[in-house]
Amino acid sequence: MSEKSKLIFDVSNMKCSGCSSAVTDAIKALDDTEVIEVSLENHQAVVMSSLSVEKVAEAITASGFPAVVNKS
């Protein structure tokens, strides 16, 4: 198993708790990945994962909420 890294994504279009739940579920469905926080207020998802940043972003985006890596 690879070492996990903390990844932060800016997630657009989240407007309600159902939206943040959909993002959380998309992340939880990935192997070797855990949700630290999905913030509706900040439109961010913080994740620990050994998967590539692209793979996690694709899963979040596929749930209907475009995700890009926050590099700050």
Q: What is the CATH number of the domain that holds 47?
A: 3.30.70.100
Beta-strand ranges (E) seen in the chain are 5-11, 33-39, 44-49, 67-69
Q: Is the pLDDT of residue 46 over 80?
A: yes
Q: What is the pTM of this model?
A: 0.91
- pLDDT score, position 54: 96
**Would you tell me how many other CB atoms lie within 10 Å of the CB of residue 35?**
17
DSSP state of 48: E
Number of H helices, E strands in the chain: 2, 4
Confidence of residue 60 (pLDDT cuts 50, 70, 90): very high
How many structural domains comprise the chain? 1
